[in-house]
Amino acid sequence: MSFKWMKNVREVTPYVPGEQPQQGRVIKLNTNENPYPPAPEVARLAKEMDTDKYRLYPDPEVTELCDVLADYYEVKPENVFVGVGSDDVLAMSFLTFFNSEKPVLFPNITYSFYEVWADLFKIPYIMQALDTDFRIKTEDYQVPNGGIVIANPNAPTSIAMPLCEIEKIVSANEESVVIIDEAYIDFGGESALSLVNKYDNLLVVRTFSKSRSMAGMRIGFAIGNEELIKALNAVKGSYNSYTMNMPSIILGSESVKDDAYFKETIGKIVATRERTIAAMKKMGFSILESSTNFIFATHEAVPAKKIFDELRNQNIYVRYFNKPLIDNYLRISIGTDEEMAAFLEKLASILK
Ligand code: PMP
């Protein structure tokens, strides 16, 4: 059907998230969620929440959460910006910092939302090819550009880039903002947070969705030079003043306080990851070196799509990307030991 107003509609190709099956018993290893619950105090506070407060708008400056994060990461509250998941923080950053005629640079295999935001905001971009081992080539980001965004560790490859390479990129681009998306950094790799006081063009973006087990609360944040944060807040305040809802602010702040639990769950996930990798290698898989809570694997004989379909038929969800260069790979999020044992058992029967 065609309506007369259609010529004025913005045409977009949206990002396609992994499936979120709403019912039935499934083993969900397709969206890199954390298999463990958030910190125990979060559950207690959620039960005791004073719902009368919901009459009021939340704090537009999200002071409580910015303060907690500033304290934890040893920066000033003025260095912290908070948003509705790191997707919101990244989208806001694209809108704020990528306004040049020159192209924004990011890898050809990376978080596919970067391309979607660039298209949505009409930002010119170039996707730089990874090398044949799926690694980012530092020299590709030392050419004229209007901004840079790099996921470190990268997704879906799971590979981390050494901090000295990131620093080369940041220091070579003082006229552009370099965004390092550290959604998975707590599972491996070296954070660029140690560089934010040294470089005023570096913005590090993080999320509560993976290592902090709070994907459902939608909390992300950025840390960077005070002027970068001011610019982000100005754009946010021109779009929607109240992005962060009250429960997310309260429960997110609480979760940061329990560092022992945070480190314990990360440790469990990393141990399960290494056991899963060892078991899959014995089955004939090649697996990229993972610094994340997922692995990226290809089998020597059986096509990835076939494994994906058969696992799905048995209610085990992993992620398959029907895209050039990676269409024979599976991205598998790390679940609990029990979930991974069930996954490995089904995998063995499929490969037989
Ligand atoms: N960056 C990367 C690299 C991701 O994989 C994801 C998760 N899909 C995000 C950002 C966004 O995560 P969230 O919006 O849940 O914080």
97 plus 190 within the same structural domain: yes
Domain boundary among 229, 258, 287: 258
Range of the domain at 34: 4-38+260-351
Q: Does 156 sit in the ligand 1 pocket, CB within 6 Å?
A: no
* Whole-number Å distance between alpha carbons of 192 and 94: 19
Q: In the predicted model, is pLDDT for residue 23 greater than 90?
A: no
Domain boundary among 202, 235, 258: 258
Burial classification of residue 70, based on how many CB atoms lie within 10 Å of its CB (0-12 exposed, 13-18 middle, 19 or more buried): middle
Place of tokens 């940061």: 256
Q: Could you tell which of 16, 19, 86 is best to mutate to test the pocket of ligand 1, judged by most ligand atoms within 8 Å of the CB?
A: 86
CA 48 vs CA 6, 51, 112, 216, 285: distances in Å:
48, 9, 39, 19, 47
Q: Does 182 sit in the ligand 1 pocket, CB within 6 Å?
A: no
Four-residue CA torsion sign, 19, 20, 22, 28: positive
Place of tokens 């990835």: 304
113 plus 221 within the same structural domain: yes
57 plus 199 within the same structural domain: yes
Q: Which of 115, 111, 87 is nearest to 208 (CA)?
A: 87
Domain boundary among 233, 258, 283: 258
Instruction: Please give the tally of structural domains in the chain.
Output: 2
123 plus 200 within the same structural domain: yes
- Three-state SS at 252: helix
214 plus 268 within the same structural domain: no
Place of tokens 């790979």: 329
215 plus 112 within the same structural domain: yes
CATH number for position 213: 3.40.640.10
Q: Encode pLDDT of 119-158 as tens digits.
A: 999 999 999 999 999 999 999 999 999 999 999 999 999 9
252 plus 289 within the same structural domain: no
pLDDT of residue 311: 97
Contact present, 68 and 257 (Cβ < 8 Å):
yes
- Residue 43, in any domain of the structure: no
124 plus 205 within the same structural domain: yes
pLDDT of residue 285: 98
Q: Encode pLDDT of 228-287 as tens digits.
A: 999 999 999 999 999 999 999 999 999 999 999 999 999 999 999 999 999 999 999 999
Q: Encode pLDDT of 99-108 as tens digits.
A: 999 999 999 9
| Number of C-beta neighbours around residue 108 at 10 A | 13
Q: Which atom of ligand 1 is nearest to the CA of 181?
A: 1
97 plus 210 within the same structural domain: yes
Does the pTM surpass 0.95? The reply is yes
178, 116, 155, 181 alpha-carbon torsion, rounded to 10°: 30
Tokens of 271: 């141990």
Burial classification of residue 314, based on how many CB atoms lie within 10 Å of its CB (0-12 exposed, 13-18 middle, 19 or more buried): middle
Q: Does 220 sit in the ligand 1 pocket, CB within 6 Å?
A: yes
CA of 183 to the centre of ligand 1 (A): 6
